[in-house]
Amino acid sequence: MGELRLMKGNEALAEAAIRAGMDAYFGYPITPQSEVLEYLTREAYKRTQCTILQAESEIASINMIYGASGAGARVMTSSSSPGISLMQEGISYIAGAELPCLLVNINRGGPGLGTIQPSQGDYFQSVKGGGHGDYRLIVLAPATVQEMADFVQDGWELAEKYRNPVMILSDGALGQMMEKVELREQIDRSKHVIPEWATTGKKKDRERNFITSLFIQPEEMEQVNLQLQAKYKTIVENEIRVQEVQTDDADFVIVAYGLSARIGRKVMELLRADGIKVGLIRPITLWPYPYETVSRAAERVKGFLSLELNAGQMVEDVRLAVNGRCPVEHYGRMGGIIPSPDEVADVIREMYSKIQ
Amino acid sequence: MQEIEHHYEDMDIVCERPTALLDKRMHYCPGCGHGVAHRIIMEAVEELGIQENTIGVAPVGCSVFAYHYMNVDMQEAAHGRATAVATGIKRCRPDKYVFTYQGDGDLAAIGTGETIHTVNRGENVLIVFINNAIYGMTGGQMAPTTLLEQKTSTTPYGREAPFMGNPLKITELLAQLPGAFYVTRQAVNTPLHVRRAKKAIVNGFKWQALNKGTCFVEIVSNCPTNWGMKPVESNKWLEEHMLPFYPLGDMKVPSKEELENG
Ligand SMILES: Cc1ncc(C[n+]2csc(CCOP(=O)(O)OP(=O)(O)O)c2C)c(N)n1
């Protein structure tokens, strides 16, 4: 058993990053995730001598990430919605140049400056693009402080395996809430194997390495895109993560991720006590999305509710998976308002009475 | 007429392509200063014997393909972000010589913030800034360094300060920052200027090892194509119009003590 601590989500994430052997963090303060940078400046350098730098903007941060990852370092940045928007050009470059890195979005309400309260309004931005061009991020959605910590090392391992940026998409509530967390052992970062493609100085026995996303010849650019698509296909085949709760006997399924999934679980309990057999599908990877799991459930159940802290984004993916076989509705609150389980249970009761 | 006999074997080679520069035909227009600037940077790398330990960052601009010619490990940055990329590299590989190569649009317009903050932090990198007073790659639009009255495709009647702002002397601005260790302005329009510019670049690399701050070398250069001039003409125009406004010389030089207590 690893060390147990009671920690805030943001701090658990930062602590996990130190333990996972992070080489460098570049970031810019923004609520509700400034604790990450604060915790790291306090703790990280003195323990592992890694680089922690408060950059002058999120644009600078993401481009520092590009440089450091291109030089073979294990790197992370974190921000919240407006800051993540500012990073999108850089994220597209990172995806295009196939650089591994970990990006953390502690989602707050938008659009615009919005609110500092929790939201899941950045689903589209995270899983459907955000930046320009045909690229994908692997997106992990933690639902507990434990997962805020665990997904750091898991995320880096995925990023390095596929040379692809990985995003942890969390929200202001998970970032701020305190829970028990079991921490993993410290990894010795001096033992990292520096990838052979990295720019570390051209040795005599090899050609120079260069990191770029520029391929000016159409034929070459198309080939690069086809290779990226082939990689994404492999990721879809191998890396989908999803949790199913009591879907075996369910007549109705709630689909929800992150914070919403916690509410969804409570709703499920309330309705089961009433005799309505509700199950929960919790996508853990938002991309690649667990279409198959939702599709299989659609064979048996009478309806779905996509529960999200937004105006209805993931519901589009649920509908794609269900493909018209039964009703799919969305319920969500915005602006940082978190719906109560009773409120959601009423929505499902109403819906369920119509599809009986 | 008497035939000339060649006896190459009797001759000494006094000048050849530096091995750190790949034997490739460059995409630059005839007479463009980028080619010369590439060459002197790679000559410096070769002479200092640091090819194995140098990492370069290319900008977005005409020199976006610098990594096609420079035989060192390189990264191609987003437009304006080369110094942030260089910061990321240098912080993780502090024992390497890291340099950026950037045009005026890249360094002094879209990337002004990164430029100032990189120098202000005193990142131990060399920044080479090619000032040709125009956006070459996108077809000759106004640059932050475009001179007053200079015609470009977006200042068709000449740049006027009240509408288009004034030419930016970013190098003078950067020389004020405590993080700057060495700041100089050079040119590549005459053999003498080329030799001086190379010396400045050699210093910029060499002094990186002292870990005392940013070395910044501006190179005033030309753009015959977008200036609408023949190469020789453009070098004359540079001398007559650019240099009076962008005077050559050192703006910040390390003291003897600073260089000795390395
Ligand atoms: C975000 C972004 N905006 C605009 C451009 C288009 N663009 C490419 S190069 C360039 C300006 C290049 O001028 P400069 O930096 O002076 O270099 P030069 O080509 O003159 O060497 C611009 C505006 C881009 N690539 N990316």
- Give me the phi and psi of B22, to 5 degrees please: -70, 150
Pairing of strands B126-131, A252-255: unpaired
- Structural domain harbouring B122: 25-260
Segment B205-232 shows an average pLDDT of 97
**Per-residue pLDDT band at B7 (split at 50, 70, 90):** confident
Question: Which residues in chain B are closer than 8 Å to A26, comparing Cβ atoms?
Answer: 88
Segment B188-204 shows an average pLDDT of 98
Q: What is the mean pLDDT of chain A?
A: 97
Distance CA B201, CA A7 (A): 51
> Does a cis peptide bond (omega within 30 degrees of 0) precede residue B254?
no
Segment A183-201 shows an average pLDDT of 96
Pairing of strands B134-135, B141-142: antiparallel
DSSP string, A56-106: SSHHHHHHHHHHHHHTT--EEEEE-HHHHHHTHHHHHHHHHTT--EEEEEE
> Which region holds residue A113: left if phi is over 0, alpha if psi is between -120 and 50, else beta?
alpha
Which residue type does A150 have?
D
Segment A40-49 shows an average pLDDT of 97
Optimal mutation site among B45, B74, B89, B117, interface A, most CBs of chain A within 10 A: B89
Q: What is the mean pLDDT of chain B?
A: 96
Distance CA A331, CA A31 (A): 26
Comparing alpha-carbon positions, the chain B residue that sits nearest to A92 is B78
Segment B219-239 shows an average pLDDT of 98
> How far apart are the CA of B61 and the centre of ligand 1, in A?
5
CB-nearest partner of B74 from A53, A59, A210: A210
**Per-residue pLDDT band at B110 (split at 50, 70, 90):** very high
Segment A44-64 shows an average pLDDT of 98
B118 contacts B213 by C-beta, under 8 angstroms: no
Pocket, ligand 1, Cβ cutoff 6 A: B 60-63, 79, 103-106, 130, 132, 134-138, 143
Instruction: Tell me the whole-structure pTM to 2 decimals.
Output: 0.97
What are the angstrom distances between the C-alpha of B87 and each of A51, A233, A295, B161?
11, 34, 47, 34
Query: Residue A356 pLDDT > 80, yes or no?
Result: no
Q: Is residue B20 part of a domain?
A: no
B78 contacts B97 by C-beta, under 8 angstroms: no
Q: Is residue B40 part of a domain?
A: yes
> How far apart are the CA of A343 and the centre of ligand 1, in A?
53
A76 contacts A22 by C-beta, under 8 angstroms: yes
What are the angstrom distances between the C-alpha of B205 and each of A47, A263, B238?
32, 58, 27
Answer whether A66 sits within 8 Å of B85, measured CB to CB: yes
How many folded domains does chain B comprise? 1
Q: Which CATH number belongs to the domain containing residue B153 in this structure?
A: 3.40.50.970
Q: Is residue B15 part of a domain?
A: no
B131 contacts B56 by C-beta, under 8 angstroms: no
* H or E stretch at A139: strand A138-140
What digits encode the pLDDT tens for the residues A89-115?
999 999 999 999 999 999 999 999 999
> How far apart are the CA of A127 and the centre of ligand 1, in A?
29
- DSSP class of residue B97 equals E
Q: Is residue B11 part of a domain?
A: no
pLDDT of residue B45: 98
Distance of CA B117 to the CA centre of its chain: 19
Residue whose CA is closest, atom 13 of ligand 1?
B135
Query: Residue A155 pLDDT > 90, yes or no?
Result: yes
Q: Is residue B133 part of a domain?
A: yes
What digits encode the pLDDT tens for the residues A113-122?
999 999 999 9
What tokens does A335 get? 């602006």
pLDDT of residue A216: 95
- Among B123, B247, B110, B218, smallest CA distance to B180 is for B123
Q: Is residue B19 part of a domain?
A: no
Query: Residue B261 pLDDT > 80, yes or no?
Result: no
**Of how many residues is chain A composed?**
356
What digits encode the pLDDT tens for the residues B150-193?
999 999 999 999 999 999 999 999 999 999 999 999 999 999 99
Question: Which residues in chain A are closer than 8 Å to B73, comparing Cβ atoms?
Answer: 199-202, 208-210
- Give me the phi and psi of A16, to 5 degrees please: -65, -35
Comparing alpha-carbon positions, the chain B residue that sits nearest to A215 is B65
What digits encode the pLDDT tens for the residues A245-291?
999 999 999 999 999 999 999 999 999 999 999 999 999 999 999 99
Segment B131-138 shows an average pLDDT of 98
What tokens does A317 get? 């993916």
Q: Does B93 touch chain A (CB under 8 A)?
A: yes
CA dihedral of A101, A102, A103, A106, whole degrees rounded to 10: 180
Q: Is residue B4 part of a domain?
A: no
- DSSP class of residue B242 equals I
**Per-residue pLDDT band at B53 (split at 50, 70, 90):** very high
What are the angstrom distances between the C-alpha of A73 and each of A12, A257, B65?
22, 31, 24
pLDDT of residue B262: 59
Which residue type does B11 have?
M
Q: What is the ipTM of this complex?
A: 0.97
Longest dimension (CA), chain B: 67
**Per-residue pLDDT band at A326 (split at 50, 70, 90):** very high
Q: Is residue B210 part of a domain?
A: yes
Q: Which domains does chain A have, with CATH numbers?
A: 3-201+226-238 (3.40.50.970), 243-354 (3.40.50.920)
Distance CA A104, CA A327 (A): 34
pLDDT of residue A59: 98
